[in-house]
Structure 1
Amino acid sequence: MKKLVFALFFLLLLNQFSAQETLIDTVLIDNQYRKASKTVKIENINSDKILQNSTSLSDLLRFQSNIYIKENGRGATSSPSFRGTTAQQTAFVWNGININSVFLGQGDINTLSPLSYENVGVKYGGGSVVYGSGAIGGSIHLNNILDYNKGFSGNLFSEYSSFATINSVASAKYSDENFSFNFNFNHSQSENEYEVEEKYYKNRNGAYQNSAFNLGMAYKLSTNNELYWQTQLYDGVQNYALLSEFSTPTKYETQSFRSLLGWKLRNSKFSNEFKLAYLTDDYQYFSNSTKNDSQSGGASEQFILKSDFNYQLTQKSSFNNILEYNYLTSESFKTQRLPANRNQGSIAVLYRNNELKNLFLELGAKKDFVEDFSSPYLFSAGANYQAKPWYQIKFNLSKNFRAPSFNDLYWVQGGNLNLKAETSKQAELSQIIKLKNWKFSVTSYFMDIKNMIRWLPNIAGMYEATNTDRVKSWGLESQVGYNYFKNNHHIETQISYSYTQSNDQKLKKQLPYVPFHNLNGYFSYHYKKYTIFAQGIWNGKIFSDSEESEKLALESFAIINGGISVEILRGTKIGFKANNITDKVYRTVYGYYMPKRNFAINLNLNF
């Protein structure tokens, strides 16, 4: 393993100094994300929609994507179901860096504030060749943007809503020809105590609060030589809702620090981006939140070196080499987990060709090296064919994987040192039609996951990590969008529908918390100083267990939100929003109900 580490580090440096000079005009921290849109389905959620769903990333993804969000009550632990998979098969990517927990192998959506980012991206389908372990069902991208020649701008946003909820953000940007600066501080908190009288449910002990500090800078050393830095500090507390007033209150505290230093060089033939990242993730669990000395928890650190080297073979073809080395270390406090460290690295190559008329091709291959663990060879292949000016076809085929997390391997008892990596083969086909202001798209996909890691009871009744499951998932995703702008009138609307079959091949039944039917949409109309918007979702019946028990199934539900904003002064807007307008009783996890009708008012200052 030491020879591998040395070889990877040497190649990283070699790639960095191979790049020559060219003009740099902007900072794209995750430059692979835009390239991926050529052959796979991608959705971009801009800052306006983020502010319309400022309460949580769960709300944002629930109403702006086809991802099913499983939330243990508002603001509590939340995880995604992406194309019939679980949270472990979803990669969370911060500015091009995979930030899934080294302990759980997944991310908690409600510990990631949407107010920290200018753009949230959703990439559907496998992406392990570029984004590593966990990118099987899809990946969620949290992007910060650094621009040049924009001058100074600032934003203050504050929202007060039901259940004593406050969401606020203060941001400032400055950039000139050679320097860019981006500052963001956001805070959310809520007493989060609500009732659902029809079900005799009260969200007791549901309070939460979190704060995040973000700072980004970029500087052009020359017209072709650039440095950038992006950092984030997050601190949050979640109290876990109690199903009974006699239950002991519990809570979860988490702190994370992420810092990324990048160096870009390029000319007409070469480009190279070198990244150095340092990530920490600490958590404490209180089995009795009234006694602060009863905590257990863990802490992890990651050191990442990454080089993304691109060589332009011809004007319309290129060779891309991505090298990465990652050192992980962890320790536990009063938990049944062994301390663990890991060296891992990867070598990926991609070839892109746009020389054939109206046809773009991409081929990729990757080999991961994980200490004391066997990892597979991966591949990807994609094509984009512009059959007509108004008709486009995308095709993508890939093999992806997820390595066992530290909990999967080292938890006592139940961890399994003999686990194999999850692997999946997936294919998808998209057809896109654009006619004037209209856009239509249909995507079909198939996924075969082998050795899925799940915690299941053994003969003695103890839960342990096993590789016994195999899952096949297939489905259809369709969208209709309309965008119109004329004489101060701007209309934007989109409706998305997805059908998902995700079957455990042993039981021949649908995986838990995977809806067969999902429908969501939004509408906005802007005229001069006035904006109105509406958004909604509908989910069909959802099974909450592996046996498709009707008794434990979640009822279908439809939720509609709506709002209005008015510019009262130049750069100053006030807004009002009503959530769950029809006062629907619903839940996304068995036992925990979500709020009925509730309201929010906000003030948005831009200067």
Structure 2
Amino acid sequence: MKRSLVLLLSSYGCFLSGQEKGIDTIYVFDSQMNKVKLFHKVNTLTLEDAEKNSTNLSELLRFQSPVYIKENGRGAVSSPSFRGTTAQQTAFVWNGISINSNFLGQGDVNNIPLFGYDQLDIKAGGGSVIYGSGAIGGSIHLNNNLDFNKGFHASLFSEAASFGTFNNFIKGSYSNDKLSIKASGNYSISENDYEVKEARNYINQNGKYFNTTFNIAGAYKIAPHHQISWISEFFNGNQNYPVLFESETKTKYETQNIRSLLSWDWNQSKFSNSFKAAYTEENFQYFANINGPGTSGGIGKNYIVKNDFNYFLSPKWNVNVIGEFQVNKAEGKGTSQISKVSRNVGSVAGLLRYFVASDLRFEAGLKKDFVEGISSPVLFSFSGKWNAATWYSTELNISRNFRFPSFNDLYWQPGGNKDLKPETSYQADLSNHFMVSDFKITVTPYYMNIRDLISWQQTQFGYYAPSNTHKVESYGLESQVEYARKFGKQSLKSSIGYTYSKSINLENKKQLMYVPLHKIFGNVDYQYDFMRIYVQGMFNGLTYTDTEEKRSDALDPYFVMNAGVSGTFLKKYTVGFKVNNIFNEIYYTMASYPLPKRNYSVNLNINF
């Protein structure tokens, strides 16, 4: 029984003392993610995965996840879609803290840095009980950790690519038995002036972008069971918006984001408590003329406190209580049509976990949000995992999730609607995992019913206004086959995923905009001694760009393949070469904005 308790605690990422000291060598800022992985399939992408698609986060998610990315030209405004839902129904979570915009209620993928994280976790399905508003279709987790007793390490990644593109990322860390510190910086710039002559002689005019990111983190063990940790991220981005005609006025968008988190963690053998205080800030400016002053913009600020208490009643029973309080503030600048606003948001969630045996476990959760001025529903979740045999396991997840209206939904003038109700959804999925030799096969059918969807429609007065318009029914299938094997100096890893997404507006029985029915993505990675070769491909099915399934305006299916080769010398130096879009495919993820044809990059990675 005692051994079972130790194993469960180590699964949760808790820090143990005494003879179990070896377990506490890593501190994870989002400790809930370790619990989530006990009941849900989560795809994890590492820094090495990011280097394969180093242009931006949009490219990484497009080629290595089931998420559909709608990008207004390479490096421009970009939004995600899980399981046929909207960008507002995808939660971006930074080290356990939601970072969706106060104004839009979503995250711009290309204004979230690609580098600076230790791993990206991608979770499909609802998660509002733990991660709050917006976690309806799925969530993307940007996670950092800190190692202890690892000494000094540093690395440099530098890349030069087509279209005047340069990426540079440097990081360093030091740790002993009590102190751990880590810092990193990233600078990316691109003229981004690619051409696609087959698409009406398209030239990505005014497509330049650049951004910088700086991250710093530290942790100190003030006592055997107490630790103070801190992490901050500073991002500065500049995007020129592409124009379709030379006669158009060129515009641009600038943003500056700050995220800072302080955590006090208390860990014992039977309980753990994590208290966090966080501050996030988004600043943005829009320039109606690239050579003129900023014409509009805004600033959003969030003050957050969160407490996560976890207690083992017995080796089989575990209770988890999460309380959170936020103050959300926003203010428009210049000609921005939103005034200075503020609201308080609180929540209390309780989760009960029961471990029948090592092969069977359950989790049930309840949550109540208290959003100023908005009536919020009671949320629930139920999860179960059963390892039925050495070759088969299954996971069942049922939940009610929600998204409360953003500040633009409520207060934009003219059009803001203070009477909006939150979007709510009921969802269920059943994951089936098969182990056959060196193969892992996952098949997950899912169903989702979304009510009170918030959409902006033109009024009789000519302007647009939001309302709770209709219901959406989404169902489909997610599947993935993974293979990994090592033999001598050789290793081979491969995966292929397929998603089928049917997302229907129940009023007109039509597929939602920018929701492809089919997506296939795959990666093959082969290494022999110091040489490494990888190939990745993505097929995207027919995608409608309007609400009436008009075939003439739809995006045609496409298949894109990339490949790369690298060699490691003296165990410290790695030189790589990549070819993107090998077959010169003409493809769009957003109407009117084709993405680049064949292009190249070379990179150097140095480990100190």
Q: Same fold (TM over 0.5)?
A: yes
Residue 388 of structure 1 aligns with an amino acid whose one-letter code is A
Q: CA deviation at 1:98?
A: 0.3
The one-letter code matched in structure 1 to 2:479 is S
- Residue 423 of structure 1 aligns with which residue? 424
- Taking a change above 3 Å as real, the CA distance of residues 357 and 564 of structure 1, as seen in their structure-2 partners, is closer
| Worse-matched range after superposition: 36-45 or 59-68 | 36-45
Between stretches 69-78 and 37-46, larger displacement belongs to 37-46
Paired with 2:191 and 2:341, the residues of 1 have a C-alpha distance of 37
* Pair 20,375 (structure 1): closer, same or farther in 2 beyond 3 Å: farther
Alignment partner, residue 85 of structure 2: 85
Tell me the distance in 1 between the aligned counterparts of 2:463 and 2:17: 60
**Count of equivalent residues:** 588
User: Would you say the 8 A contact 1:20–1:271 is kept in 2?
Assistant: no
Alignment of 1:167-566 (within 5 A): 167-199=167-199, 200-291=201-292, 293-334=293-334, 335-356=336-357, 358-566=359-567
2-structure distance, mates of 1:116, 1:311: 32
User: Which letter does structure 2 place at the counterpart of 1:569?
Assistant: L
| Aligned counterpart, 2:606 | 605
The 1:357/1:34 distance shift into structure 2, 3 A limit, reads: closer
* 3-state SS of paired residue (2:147): coil
State the Cα distance separating 1:417 from its structure 2 match. Answer: 0.4
What residue identity is the alignment partner of 1:197?
K
Q: CA deviation at 1:581?
A: 0.2
State the Cα distance separating 1:132 from its structure 2 match.
Answer: 0.4
Offset of residue 357 of structure 1:
5.9
Alignment-derived partner of residue 53 in structure 1: 53
AA at the equivalent of 1:85? T
CA distance in 1, matches of 2:360, 2:445: 20
Counterpart code for 1:185: G
Alignment partners' CA distance in 2, 1:85 and 1:357: 35
Residues 461/130 of structure 1: CA separation in 2 closer, same or farther (3 Å cut): same
CA distance in 1, matches of 2:316, 2:253: 51
Partners of 1:41 and 1:471 in 2: how far apart?
24
Instruction: Give, in angstroms, the shift of residue 410 of structure 1.
Output: 0.2
Q: Answer yes or no: is the 8 Å Cα contact 1:41–1:123 preserved in 2.
A: yes
Q: Which runs of 4+ in 1 moved over 4 A?
A: 19-25
Residue 26 (structure 1) shift: 2.8
Q: Is the 8 A contact 1:21 1:225 kept in 2?
A: no
One-letter amino acid of the structure 2 residue matched with residue 271 of structure 1: S
Deviation string 1:404-459 (CA, Å, 9 cap, x unpaired) is: 00000000011100000000000000000112311011000000000011111223
- C-alpha distance in 1 between matches for 2:64 and 2:382: 28
Q: Is the 8 A contact 1:257 1:279 kept in 2?
A: yes
Cα distance, 1:295 vs. partner? 2.2
8 Å CA contact 2:26–2:145 kept in 1: the answer is: no
CA distance in 2, matches of 1:147, 1:25: 6
Q: Is the 8 A contact 1:442 1:478 kept in 2?
A: yes
SS at match of 2:107: coil
In structure 1, the gaps of 5 or more residues are 1-18
CA distance in 1, matches of 2:16, 2:305: 20
Q: Quick one: distance in 1 between partners of 2:340 and 2:249?
A: 29
The secondary structure found in structure 2 opposite 1:605 is strand
Residue 173 of structure 1 and its aligned partner are, at CA, apart by 1.0
In the alignment, residue 304 of structure 1 is paired with which amino acid? Answer: I
Answer whether contact 2:194 2:596 (CA < 8 A) is retained. Answer: yes
Separation in 2 of the partners of 1:566 and 1:357? 42
The answer (yes or no) to whether the contact 2:345–2:369 under 8 Å persists in 1 is yes
Paired residue secondary structure (2:27): coil
Query: Retained in 1: the 8 A contact 2:285–2:294?
Result: no
Measured against aligned partners, the alpha-carbon deviations of 1:506-527 in whole angstroms (never above 9, x if no partner) come to: 1110000000000000000011
Secondary structure class of the residue paired with 1:107? coil
Q: Is the 8 A contact 2:543 2:555 kept in 1?
A: yes
Contact 1:160 1:167 in 2 (8 A): yes
Contact kept in structure 2, 1:20 and 1:270, CA below 8 Å: no
Counterpart CA distance in 2 for 1:406 and 1:235 is 23
Distance in structure 2 (CA, Å) of the matches to 1:174 and 1:268 = 27
Deviation string 1:350-374 (CA, Å, 9 cap, x unpaired) is 0011124621100000000011111
Query: 2:252·2:287 contact (CA, 8 Å) conserved in 1?
Result: yes
Q: Is the 8 A contact 2:281 2:302 kept in 1?
A: yes
Kindly provide the amino acid, as one letter, of the partner of residue 595 in structure 1.
P
SS at match of 2:49: helix
Q: What's 1:165 paired with? A: 165
Aligned equivalents of 1:172, 1:25: Cα separation in 2: 17
Q: Could you tell me which residue of structure 2 aligns to residue 11 of structure 1? A: none
Kept in 2: contact 1:484–1:492 (CA 8 A): yes
8 Å CA contact retained: 1:21, 1:265: no
Check whether the contact 1:336–1:411 (CA below 8 A) recurs between aligned residues.
yes
Q: Deviations over 1:354-406 (max 9, x none)?
A: 12462110000000001111111000000000110111000000000001000
How far apart are the structure 2 equivalents of 1:434 and 1:316?
Answer: 27
TM-score scaled to structure 1, two decimals? Answer: 0.95
Distance 1:20 1:54, change over 3 A: closer
Q: Does 1:74 align with 2:66?
A: no
Aligned to 2:12: none
Over the aligned positions, Cα root-mean-square deviation in angstroms equals 1.3
Q: Which amino acid aligns with 1:553?
A: A
Q: Which has the higher mean CA deviation after the structures are superposed, 36-45 or 95-104?
A: 36-45
Deviations, residues 488-546 of structure 1 (Å, cap 9, x unaligned): 11100000001010001111100000000000000000111100001110011100111
Aligned partner letter, 2:114: P
2:552 counterpart SS class: coil
Q: Is the 8 A contact 2:25 2:149 kept in 1?
A: no
Contact 1:73 1:241 in 2 (8 A): yes
2:99 is aligned with 1:113: no
2: CA distance between counterparts of 1:322 and 1:214?
27
Give the letter aligned to residue 164 of structure 1: G
Contact 2:70 2:78 in 1 (8 A): yes
Alpha-carbon distance between aligned partners in 1 of 2:170 and 2:358, rounded to the nearest angstrom: 48
Q: CA deviation at 1:84?
A: 0.2
Contact 1:20 1:265 in 2 (8 A): no
Distance 1:603 1:25, change over 3 A: closer
Contact 1:560 1:580 in 2 (8 A): yes
- Aligned partners of 1:165 and 1:192 also within 8 Å: yes
Distance 1:552 1:597 in 2: 25
State the distance in 2 between where 1:267 and 1:428 align.
35
Distance 2:380 2:398 in 1: 8
Normalising by structure 2, report the TM-score.
0.95
Residue segments in structure 2 that go unaligned for 5+ positions in a row: 1-14
Is the 1:347–1:368 contact (alpha carbons within 8 Å) kept by the matching residues of 2?
Answer: yes
Deviation at 1:460, TM superposition (A): 3.4
Shift of 1:570: 2.6
- What is the distance in 1 between the residues matched to 2:471 and 2:402? 13
Counterpart AA for 1:241: P
Within 2, Cα distance between the matches of 1:181 and 1:380?
37
